[in-house]
Structure 1
Amino acid sequence: MKIGLDDVVAAETALSHVDGEAGRLIIRGRDLEELAGQVSFEEAVATLWEGLVPDISEDPRCLLGRARVRAFAHLAPLAPHLSGLTPVEGMRLLLAALPDAEEDHASLAVGAAAVAAAMAVRGSRSLPAVAPDASAGHAADLLRMLRDAPVEDGEARGLDTYLVTVIDHGLNASTFAARVVSSTEAGLLSAVVAGLCALKGPLHGGAPGPVLDMLDRIGRPENAEAWLDAAIARGERLMGFGHRIYRVRDPRADVLKGAVARLKGADNRIAFAEAVERTALEVLERRKPGRRLDTNVEFYTALLLDSLSVPREGFTPLFAAGRSAGWAAHTIEQARTGRIIRPQSRYVGPRPAEAA
């Protein structure tokens, strides 16, 4: 028996494949590097949803733009209830208010995830919700709704690259949760909410924020080696380094590193973080010889979103905004099997007394 279902095949999918040994992420037959930074989020959604969502290939930008407007009409009345909730809790509240019976439920889920992410982050700070612009690109509109300020083209491209990078990643915990709910015929929106609930856990979706906490504690490049050495000596994990699946470099990290480099400027911490990264890799090689602990997607996610002025408590909601397209695709794919996911467990509790 494999505790945690490690290496157990629980589904067949045509959506994505994670090859940890080779350091590859394949999305519908294409390497991630062919999509992220090369096509818009809307185009990546169309690629992922091909054969699953009938209207997605016609004009995905218009489809998702209309979905954001429809979602805002559903969600705007709930804005007063977001105060006092964390952004993830607020996003959960908003998405749970959507009806499963709504038409075009896949596009509505992705549009709603963007609207809910922005609303929840702003609501947690007692700021008013910002209405979407159906004519804008998905990434640009998400960032504008979040900040209530104009978005530069370079910033929109940076967020676009991020959303594509996290659009799908095999049968991870949140995607599996979504597929389990889908297998009960509960509905697509319910499955997406389940995915978000799984993503809320710090072992899955909450890691990029602590990367910035680590950089805050290091403070200056010249402090990095001593701080990192001391952290390893205390048995602490260096946030943003190593990955459970990838035995070589995480391909998502390479894509986001390029996006981060294009945003480097005097008013962000990218140059400092790059210096810390170089030192961390040297310290890890010296302190943990024989182990491949490369920079992972969390490190560059933190730098990218921080440079876009996304507050660190908003990192997980933005992750969910991108991953919602993958959850929707897996939900539809799972529903087509017509089978409920129902694994077995091994009972290890006490037995009733045997009759004499």
Structure 2
Amino acid sequence: MSASSSINSPAAALADVPRGLAGVVVADTEVGDVRGREGFYHYRQYSAVDLARHRSFEDVWHLLVHGELPDPVRGAAFAAETAALRRLPEEVTAVLPAIAAAGRGPGSGAGRGSGGGGGPLAGMRSALSLLGAVKGFRPVYDIDDRRRRDDTVVAVAAVPTMLTALHRLGQGLDPIEPRRDLSFAANYLYMLTGSVPDERRTRAIEQYLISTIDHGFNASTFTARVIASTGADVAACLVGAVGALSGPLHGGAPSRALDALDAIGTPDRIDPWIRERVLSGDRIMGFGHAVYRTEDPRSRMLREIAEGFGGPRVEFAVEVERQVEAILAELKPGRELHTNVEFYAGVVMELCGLPREMFTPTFAAARTVGWSAHVLEQARDSKIIRPAARYVGVGAPVVVPQGV
């Protein structure tokens, strides 16, 4: 029975579900899973953290989109294929200055660390839409799986070029053309800063990117799948996902976690600052997760990366983490609250030279791979996602008042 017929059927019974669909299974997936009680998540059959430790971003991208890790030959071929797609079409390049200027307008939110209403993340939506039109993306309903995969690869390869160009234009700088001879992560840093990064910073950003490619049916991933279920083109699916990510309840926490470190300032202020916020019921940015009931495995790995850099900033972050957990254990016994991915992600990205307004866009550059994998999976199912809503307004029908 179709969704519409079941809703209209007089015998149909609507199922009540938790607010926000928490804990509700809405689809089957082979892309990956998050096992929050265990503190574990995976891409396909592999631990996501192990992949971040031992493989390249391009290898994991291949895994998500093609379903398997490549051998060295196929991995090199895929890396070369995607590197060749980094340059934007002239039609897109020509409008980026106007998009960047619009992002700096009054009330746009440009420059906010959250990556909210304006800036590169908002510009990415416009640029992706245009890219899809220029490249002739067709509805996924009308094309085969090979063409769908090709469209996702074109989009993912172009996203870092869009984001870095929009950022630089917003700063009054010229965009930097991508290089084919650099890895995905190295090229991203190069286009952002104008300098080829050293191996340590490249690898740190690469591991961060890999660790954030996918993470269950979060709001942006679910949005991408809903749009894909309508048969829309790849660009439309990704634009919708970016729109969901732009909301402050979903994206933007890495910069806010750093803002909290700045607000605390010195070690002697940690205890009173944290106590005041815990007792007032305020959220401590960078702590807690909707799924994990133990330490976030991404946070654990990023803490190790940060400690590899060392320095006062890292030492201060580690001490803040220690005291927050101790104070919470004292004031909120039985309620475990650990650092999430955003806490040390902000520290690592800062150490690698990324400005705060690029933290969420950098996350989006990685997550586009995961969104693409889910779009491809959803496109193979011709069933549109069409839930019901319970009407709670004034009883209907009411006689319409006559006009005067």
Where on the TM-score scale, by shorter chain, does this alignment land: which range? over 0.9
Is the CA contact 1:163–1:319 (under 8 Å) kept in the aligned structure 2? yes
Which amino acid in 1 is paired with 2:269? Answer: N
Aligned to 2:375: 331
Aligned pairs for 1:15-94 within 5 A: 15-51=31-67, 59-69=77-87, 71=88, 73-81=90-98, 82-85=100-103, 86-94=119-127
User: 1: CA distance between counterparts of 2:92 and 2:203?
Assistant: 27
Q: 1: distance between equivalents of 2:37 and 2:94?
A: 48
CA contact (8 A) 1:122 1:128 kept: yes
Per-residue CA distance 1:179-228 (angstroms, 9 max, x = gap): 11111111111111111110000111111111111111111112111111
How far apart are the structure 2 equivalents of 1:110 and 1:264?
Answer: 32
For the residue of structure 2 that corresponds to 1:301, the secondary structure is helix
The residue type equivalent to 1:16 in the other structure is G
**TM-score, normalising length from structure 2?**
0.83
- The answer to whether structure 1 residue 254 and structure 2 residue 272 are counterparts is no
Aligned residue in 2 for 1:137: 183
CA distance in 1 between counterparts of 2:69 and 2:40 reads 26
Distance (whole Å) between structure 2 residues aligned to residue 6 and residue 232 of structure 1? 25
Residues 111-150 of structure 1: pairs in structure 2 closer than 5 A: 111-150=157-196
Secondary structure of 1:262's counterpart equals helix
Is the 8 Å Cα contact of residues 132 and 234 (structure 2) preserved in structure 1? no
Could you tell me how far 1:310 is from its partner in structure 2? Answer: 1.2
The 2-side partners of 1:312 and 1:289 are apart by: 34
Shift of 1:64: 1.8
CA distance in 2: counterparts of 1:116 and 1:14, whole angstroms? 30
| Contact 2:86–2:157, Cα closer than 8 Å, also in 1 | yes
Instruction: Figure out how many residues of one structure are paired with residues of the other and give that number.
Output: 352
Corresponding residue for residue 111 of structure 2: none
Aligned to 2:132: 99
In structure 1, what is the equivalent of residue 359 of structure 2?
Answer: 315
Is this contact kept in 1: 2:44–2:67, CA < 8 A? no
Distance 1:340 1:53 in 2: 30
Matched residue, 1:303: 347
The one-letter code sitting in structure 2 at the alignment partner of 1:47 is L
Contact 2:60 2:69 in 1 (8 A): no
Given that 1:72 and 1:112 are in contact with CA atoms closer than 8 Å, whether structure 2 keeps it comes out as no
**Structure 1 position 317, deviation (Å):** 0.6
Please give the secondary structure, in 2, of the residue aligned with 1:132. coil
Distance 1:254 1:72, change over 3 A: farther
Match of 2:336 among 289, 292, 295: 292
Q: 1:238 to 1:311 in 2, by over 3 A?
A: same
Percent same amino acid at aligned positions?
38
Does the Cα contact within 8 Å between 2:212 and 2:363 map onto a contact in 1? yes
Q: Is the 8 A contact 2:227 2:236 kept in 1?
A: yes
Whole-angstrom distance in 2 between the partners of 1:252 and 1:195: 22
Larger mean Cα displacement after TM superposition, 206-215 or 319-328: 206-215
Note if contact 1:56-1:63 (Cα within 8 Å) is conserved in structure 2.
Answer: no
Question: What 5-or-longer segments of structure 1 have no aligned partner?
Answer: none
Task: State the 1:52 CA deviation.
Answer: 9.2
Deviation of 1:124 after TM superposition, in Å, equals 2.3
Q: Is the 8 A contact 2:97 2:166 kept in 1?
A: no
Does residue 320 of structure 2 align to residue 281 of structure 1?
A: no
Question: Which secondary structure state, in structure 2, belongs to the residue aligned with residue 59 of structure 1?
Answer: helix
Q: Choose which of 346, 349, 354 in structure 1 pairs with 2:390.
A: 346
Amino acid at match of 2:363: F
The alpha-carbon distance between structure 1 residues 72 and 210, as it changes in their structure 2 partners (threshold 3 A), is farther
Bigger radius of gyration = 2
Q: Distance in 2 between matches of 1:163 and 1:73?
A: 28
Deviation at 1:177, TM superposition (A): 0.5
Deviation at 1:353, TM superposition (A): 4.3
- CA-to-aligned-CA distance 1:27-70 (integer Å, 9 cap, x gap): 1111122101211110111111224999975722112211212x
Number of the residue aligned with 2:276: 230
* Change in 2 beyond 3 A, CA 1:60/1:264: farther
What is residue 240 of structure 1 aligned with on the other side?
Answer: 286
CA shift at 1:150, angstroms?
Answer: 2.3
Distance 1:168 1:87 in 2: 21
Distance 2:308 2:160 in 1: 24
TM-score normalised per structure 1: 0.94
